[in-house]
Structure formats: structure tokens, C-alpha cells
Structure 1
Amino acid sequence: MLFYPEVCGLAGRESGSSNRKIRQYRKPLNINLGIIIFSVIFVYVVICVFLYFTQKHIMGYEVKNGSLSIGNVYQGIALREETIVTSNDSGYINYYAREGERVGFGKLVCSIDESGQLKEMFDAGKADDTQLSDNNLADIKSEITGYMSGFEKKQFSGVYDFKYSLEGTALKLANINVLQDLQSLNGSGSSLISLCSAPVSGIVVYSTDGYETLTADQITQDMFDKEDYSKRQLINNELVASGDTLYKLATDENWSIVIQSDPERAQELLEEEYVQVRFLKNQCTSWAKVNVLNNEDGNTYVKLDFNNSMISFCTDRYIDIELVTKDEQGLKVPNSAIAEKEFFLVPKGYVTKGNSSENGVLKETYTENGEASTEFIATSIYFETEDDYYIDNSVLELGNNLVRPDSTDKYTISRSATLIGVYNINKGYADFKEIQILSQNDEYAIIKSNTAYGLSAFDRIVLDAETVTGNEFLE
């Protein structure tokens, strides 16, 4: 028999390996430093976010001197003595007096051309190179500038009124050149041209709006809505019938502007009796006498009476004005910082000073043996009247007996009152300070500075008084 040692040895090894255990290879632990750092930062951020939303947030505000911006800009309705002049004839109208010009009684304002001869003459003259004087050009430029300063995109319909007004101004200036031909037309025996003279002295206006006879007591809130307002422009060379409106005259220099107001503001203006008014159209100022109206619609209106400047606004029904009033000066604080707090009222004779010069009161107490004694209770003084001090109610209770120093007189705490103030945080805790409000709007109040128990400039106060309580320490 032949033996193959290599094969036998291999078989033996294979047989022995079948009795061995197979173990899983364990990878060595590799610590990633970046993951550890990221995890720590993530946990820190989560903790900070949690604390932010669970902790109370107290924001400070630095008190500074300032004045209060009160809304003193109003849109008013102008009321004037206005006389409407109507036509006695039919025909084409031609104007010769410029709008906004004062004309005397019997002065020529316009003409009515029944035959159309004057219109044909004017149309023929239009082909000529009519030159306007420097004064005429200055008037047109002034009219354009005034319109641009008061232009509102929401009232685009006013563009057409301005267009007709500007065209009318140019035509009226050009019509002056035709006046010299009126004598020749009338001299030739023609009676078809009627000359219209002013029935009274006044300022000429070439528009109507239906408010010519409006009085102050008839004004309602709806009239201040310009979307419902319409003005008819009277156009040169337009065909008119008998009875139609030719123009109107503002006959009195005394006129008024009526504005809307709340009762409190109206009463403030009435107490001033006279108020200075700035016209936003030309930035001129004038003094007006104040009257308050309580009309039938239940709203309050202020009527401002003027005795000048009417000619500058004779064509305007709605006028934007600013009331120039004296601004209150003082410390400016936000309304959110203002709070009310209740205090005990204690007669001044019962407040004394302790060993550390702190203000306080002597509270009556009793020992275990029932003997009467006193305990000094330190308390701050927050305000005073002629007879009483306002003291903190958190260290005392209603019904406590106070003993007058060096006396047997006693006072039982039974009275309280509230103060308006803010929380001062200069010392790291919320310390209530009484304030005296001089004026106030929707956002800020002007308070009196350097009062005995109040604030001074650059003090820091709590912005939102609802986030703190009295004497709370700030973290």
C-alpha cells in the first residue's frame, strides 16, 4: 500500500479545525472628538432655549427729556359767504376776470355771445402766436406748483379739474385781447353779445360744488369723505342756457374752516380761545378763533374763524391745516411702563427714622406674656400730601396699630390710595416711582421731571410694567 504524507497531513489539519470556535472580530473603539463637541453645544443650545422661554424677560428703558408729538394735522371744510351768479341769456360764455381776482361792483366779469361771433373771433385768434406776460406766466406756474403740492393718487379725478382750471386760466388771459373788439361788434348794431358785470364786490371763482350755502351746524362726518365730493368746473367758451351758473363770488373776507375732533381735544382748543393755524398748501400761518360744535349727527367739530387769507384759498373746499400748539416738555416714557399701585395712607406724625436713618413706622406688638411693645418696620415713602405719607402695603396689613414716636397715640391702618408711576431699576430691583403726567398720546407720556418722589433724566425703568412686581430683584 502506498502512503501520501502531504495529503494525510492536510486531512488531519482539516479534521482538527472543525473542533475550534469561531469568534466575531471586535473593532477597536475610536472616539470622535468632533461628535462630542457638537453634542455638548447642542445640549447647551437646547438648555438656553428652554430657559429663554420659561424665564421672565424684563426689558429696560432709559428715560430722556423730550416732547410729545400730538397729531395736529387736520383736513377741514372751508365755509365762505358765496354768491352764485346765473345767466339771463343763452349763448357762448367768455370770461375776462381771472379766477381768484377781486372785482368791484359793476365790473365786467364775462360776456354771453348769442350769435357765436365772438367765439369765431376767438377761434381765429387762437392761430396767432399769443404771448403771455411774465406776470401771467408766473400765475400759471404758481397754480401748477400749488396743485403738485397737494396731489393725491387716490384722488386722480382731481387731475381733470386741474386741467380745466389751467385751460380756463390761459383762455381768460387770452380773452383780454378780444375785449378791444367788443366795442366794434356792439358799435355795428349787434345786440347779440351781453356783457355780464358783477352784482356785488367779491372774489371770482369759476367752479361750484353745492356747498355754497352750507353752514357749520349742517356739517356731518360723511362730508369729509372726498370720494363722494364733486366739483363742477365752469369752462370758457362753453354753451350756457338761461338760468345756468356763470360764476360765483366770495363776498366776505371773514371765513371759517371746520375740522373733526374728539370732545377732549375740542375742549383743550376751546380753552385756548385762539389757535395758530399753518396752511399746508403754502406754509403760511394765521390766527383763528375757536368754537366747538356738537352737531345733530352726534359728532364734535371745531370751527376755526379767520378774518384774512380767504383769497388764497377761495377755490378750495377741502384745506389741510396744522394746529401750531405749544408742546409740553418733560421726561418721555412709554405708556407700557406706566402702572398703578396701591399704598397705605399714614399720618406724617407716625413716620420716623430708625438707627440706620431709614424711614419707617412703629408697629404695636405683644410679647408672649401679653405685654405691649413696638417694632420698627422700615418702609419707603412713595408720595406725600399735606397730612399723609404713602407707604408700602407689603410690609403692613390693614388693622395694624401704629404708635406715634414719643407718645402713646395710636393709629389703626384703615386707608389706602393708588398712585400712577413706573418701576425704576437703577438699583437692581423694581422700585416704584410716582409720576405726574403732563400730556399723553397713544404711545408715550410726558411727565414732570425732578419731583420729590419721581424720576430724573437717564433713570432706567421697566419697559413693560406688567412683567414685574414691586421690589422684585432683577436677575
Structure 2
Amino acid sequence: MPYNYVYMAKKKKVKKNDKIIKYPKQYHFSIGFIIIGVMFIYMLYHLFTYITADNITVYEVSQGSISSNLEYNALAIRQEQVVTAENNGDILYLAENFGKVGAKTQVYALDTTGEILSSIEESTSKSEIQLDDEDYSKLQSIVANYMLTYDPIDFNKTYTFKNELDSQVAQLYTVSAMESMGESLSNAISAGSFNIYSSPVPGLVVYSIDGLEDITVDNFVSESLDISNYSAVNLKAQESVIAGQAVYKVITSDHWNLVLEVDKDLYESLQGETYLKIKFLEDETETWTNLDFTEKAGKYYLILSLDDSMDRYADSRFVHIQIINNNISGLKIPNSSIVEKEFYTIPKDYMVMGNNDDNAGFLLKSEAGNVVINPTVYYENDDFYYIDNELVSRGDRFIKPNSNEEYVIGADTGKLKGVFNVNKGYAVFKQIEILYQNDDYSIIKTGTSYGISMYDHIVLQGDEVEENTIIN
């Protein structure tokens, strides 16, 4: 192909290409993708903050109650009269232990020579006795009571059962032997060598003493309730006595009292109550009691009055009971919400009225000039205001109104129990007064000046939050 032809063809092709116009590449942004991206970043941020932040739970305060089932070894106080021997001699008991007697019922006999008792012992070792229906009933009652309260771990009950059964059988043999002695017994009585004595008053016979027979609800002391030092004397174990020696006691009334020491919280929570339900843990029976209160030497006592069940516990100075009480009510909060915080305590006579309001203020000493400040008061009693360190520091000084006296902040401090209120979205300490507390919940006093109210929101995990923490 000729050179000129090729050249002209290339030239035409170049001219044709010169007509193509190149435009810059345009990028189109979608508003939908932008919104999705922002939302994704937002979600990632909140997921990260949720994972890394403490998981704080908010609890709404409500009215509630706590059922308390508290166990005590209560001191039993009865009307008891100790009877002493009128003469010397070998003693023979005629009345049943815990049996009811009249004013002329024969209770015991004294043998000054020992002849009658020897004859009775010889007779009981050889003879057999015939039991009537009443005798069978007494023995069956002892066995039935033991079976009802049987506990394979409690050996004391087994020993008590054995002793009571032996005593009842011995009593039956003694009465039978005396009835068979006839003339020899009459002659001994006539000669004055064998004397039978009757109860001076009607009541319930008990053949043991413990030295607490004269105790009353008025004269008991804290040591009276110390079961670790308690001991009793079994009078039936003595074979002979001398004049003036205790031989038995008589409980002269079915009315009796139980005294128990309680903590201040329970004591105060029961104020206003006149009755209290209890359970006797020995036999699981329940009864209502009249309730009274007394305070001695800084300790708090409940005094329960009863007119039943006395005969079942006539030999027990300490009775194991359980308080059954469902009436402890108020604002109910979890114990996990409760915290303790230390505050500066400021004497009330340092208070001045605040700036243009009725809030308590204090005159703070300053090099630039004294100034009245209004710190938050978290609690007050008859003597002090409780404030924190938001506006003051330890070592600052308040000036007493109309005086040159100064009070050094931090000289006295006090601790308050409270919760963190989050009604405003951040944690604010609020003081509480606990009426009663169990392992999980507390009942707190309502209507306090610096406390919380029903439907307030508080932090469930109080120890995981600090003052002014923002709660999402």
C-alpha cells in the first residue's frame, strides 16, 4: 500500500477520535446508606458501653411486710412456793410429780426411825400390784407424750421419759405397799415416828428447785436469762432430809410469763402490739399471748403473759419458743440497696438561716470574708446536722451566730445508713431508719424528713454506685 494512503488513513482516524469528549466520573451518595451507617455506629457505641459499664438495676420502693420466725429460750416465770421439811427423817414422796393437789392432799411422809420405809421397800420388791383403769391411763399418757415428741437425736428426752415412768411406777408400788401395811403403819403414825404431810396450798407439785422461784417480771435481771449458768436440783433424789430443807414446790396459778431478750429493731417494730403469737418448739403447739415491753440496763425485753400450757412446762425454767409475727410492715427494700456513709456532724447552734430561703445555713470562715453557705443536710437529730464534703472540707471552720466561737469541721463525724435515690437520673443519698431486717429485706420507717417514699426509685446494688453517679 502506498505510503501516502496509509498516512492519510491514520490522520482521518485521529481526527475522528478528537470528537470524543471525556467527562469527570461522578459519585452518587445514598442518604439511606448514611442513616444505616450512623445507626450502626450508634448501636456499636451503646453495645460497648453496656458491656463495659456496671449493670445497675433500679428498684421501686413499695409497701410490704416481713414474716419473722425468731427462736428464743424464754425465761419462764411462775407463782411458785417452795415447801420445806417440818422434821428430820427419811423421806417418802406420795404425790405424783407435776400432779395437781388440793390444800389437804398428802404430798410426802417422814420416817424418823426408817422402819416403815424398810418395810415398804421389802414389800415392793416381792409383791405385785393390780393396776386399775386410772393407773393404766397415767402410764399410757406418759408413753404417748414421749412417742409424740420422740427425737432419735435428743437423748435427754429419753432419759426424762425413763425417769418419769420409773417415778410413776414407784409411786404405784408405794401406795400399794402402804395400803397393805395396815396396823403397823397406824401404830407408827400414832407413835409419831411416821408423819404424813399435806400441801399447804392447792396447785401443781414439782419435785425440783433451781433458786429462781422468787423471780418476777419486775425483779429479773439480764443474768436471769443466762441459760449457760442454769442448774436445777432433783429433790426426789434425796433419801433423807433435815428440818427446813426443801422437799418440793407448788405452782399456785395457771397464769405465767415468758421473758425474752430481743434486739432494738424487733422491740421497736412491735410497739403498739398487744398480742403476739408463739410456737412451743418442743411439741409444735401454737398459742396467742398478751404482749408487754420493758427496758433494763440498755437491753430490751418482751414479756409474754399466758393462762394456758403452764402444766406442760412446769419443770422447764427455759422454754424454747418461736415468735410467729407477720405484722412488721412499712417500706420494704432489699438489703443490697443499703449503704453506709460518713458525714460531718455540725452542732445545731451553729445554724443560721440560708440565703433567701428556709434551708439551714452556716457561716463559713474565709480569708476573703465570711460567707453563708447552704450545704445539703442529710439528717438531723436533737443535737446535730449531718452534712457531706460537697461545700466544705475537713479543717474548715464555722462561726457560731452572735459569737466568736468556732467549730472545726471534721472534729465530729457520724455514719448514716441509707440508699441511693435515682428519681432525677443520678444517685442521691437518702437516709433511712430500719425498723426490722431479715437476711434479704428491710422494713424502713415511713414519713421521715430526709428519707424515701413509696414509689421512689433506688439503686439495687448500693455498693456499686457513688454519689451523683448518672444512672441510664
| TM-score when normalising by structure 2 | 0.58
1:121-177 deviations in Å (ceiling 9; x for gaps): 234423555576542332332554587569879xx7x98777655533332243232
State whether residues 101 and 202 of structure 2, in contact with CA within 8 Å, keep that contact through their aligned partners in structure 1. yes
| Structure 1 residue matching 2:110: 3-state secondary structure | strand
Q: Percent identity of the aligned residues?
A: 24
* Superposed displacement of residue 293, structure 1: 2.5
* Superposed displacement of residue 275, structure 1: 2.0
Question: Which position in structure 1 is the counterpart of 2:139?
Answer: 137
Matches within 5 A, 1:187-198: 187-188=186-187, 191=191, 192-198=193-199
Question: Which position in structure 1 is the counterpart of 2:121?
Answer: 122
Question: Which position in structure 1 is the counterpart of 2:410?
Answer: none
| Structure 1 residue matching 2:200: 3-state secondary structure | coil
* Superposed displacement of residue 283, structure 1: 2.6
| Structure 2 residue matching 1:235: 3-state secondary structure | helix
Question: Which position in structure 1 is the counterpart of 2:442?
Answer: 445
| Structure 2 residue matching 1:242: 3-state secondary structure | coil
Which amino acid in 1 is paired with 2:290? K
CA distance in 2, matches of 1:242, 1:249: 18
CA 123–294 in structure 1, closer or farther in 2 if over 3 Å, else same: farther
| Structure 2 residue matching 1:176: 3-state secondary structure | helix
State whether residues 68 and 324 of structure 2, in contact with CA within 8 Å, keep that contact through their aligned partners in structure 1. no
Question: Which position in structure 1 is the counterpart of 2:263?
Answer: 262
CA distance in 2, matches of 1:79, 1:335: 37
State whether residues 428 and 467 of structure 2, in contact with CA within 8 Å, keep that contact through their aligned partners in structure 1. no
CA 335–145 in structure 1, closer or farther in 2 if over 3 Å, else same: same
Matches within 5 A, 1:257-336: 257-295=258-296, 297-328=297-328, 333-336=333-336
CA 473–325 in structure 1, closer or farther in 2 if over 3 Å, else same: closer
Which amino acid in 1 is paired with 2:234? Q
Between 59-68 and 219-228, report the one with greater CA deviation: 59-68
State whether residues 113 and 119 of structure 1, in contact with CA within 8 Å, keep that contact through their aligned partners in structure 2. no
CA distance in 2, matches of 1:176, 1:472: 86
State whether residues 90 and 112 of structure 1, in contact with CA within 8 Å, keep that contact through their aligned partners in structure 2. yes
CA distance in 1, matches of 2:417, 2:233: 59
CA 441–193 in structure 1, closer or farther in 2 if over 3 Å, else same: same
CA distance in 2, matches of 1:246, 1:259: 30
| Structure 2 residue matching 1:70: 3-state secondary structure | strand
CA distance in 2, matches of 1:282, 1:180: 38
| TM-score when normalising by structure 1 | 0.58
Question: Which position in structure 2 is the counterpart of 1:170?
Answer: 169
CA 298–277 in structure 1, closer or farther in 2 if over 3 Å, else same: same
State whether residues 275 and 289 of structure 2, in contact with CA within 8 Å, keep that contact through their aligned partners in structure 1. yes
CA distance in 1, matches of 2:254, 2:331: 44
Question: Which position in structure 2 is the counterpart of 1:252?
Answer: 253
Matches within 5 A, 1:29-44: none
State whether residues 94 and 237 of structure 1, in contact with CA within 8 Å, keep that contact through their aligned partners in structure 2. no
CA 173–301 in structure 1, closer or farther in 2 if over 3 Å, else same: farther
Pick from 51, 56, 73 the counterpart of residue 75 of structure 1: 73
* Superposed displacement of residue 107, structure 1: 1.0
Matches within 5 A, 1:264-413: 264-295=265-296, 297-328=297-328, 333-338=333-338
Pick from 90, 93, 115 the counterpart of residue 91 of structure 2: 93
CA 301–237 in structure 1, closer or farther in 2 if over 3 Å, else same: closer
CA distance in 2, matches of 1:215, 1:150: 36
CA 163–289 in structure 1, closer or farther in 2 if over 3 Å, else same: same
State whether residues 430 and 468 of structure 1, in contact with CA within 8 Å, keep that contact through their aligned partners in structure 2. no
* Superposed displacement of residue 100, structure 1: 1.6
| Structure 1 residue matching 2:272: 3-state secondary structure | helix
| Structure 2 residue matching 1:227: 3-state secondary structure | helix
State whether residues 65 and 332 of structure 1, in contact with CA within 8 Å, keep that contact through their aligned partners in structure 2. yes
CA distance in 2, matches of 1:423, 1:127: 85
Question: Which position in structure 2 is the counterpart of 1:28?
Answer: none
* Superposed displacement of residue 264, structure 1: 4.7
CA distance in 2, matches of 1:260, 1:96: 39
RMSD over aligned CA atoms reads: 4.6
CA distance in 2, matches of 1:218, 1:151: 37
CA distance in 2, matches of 1:293, 1:62: 37
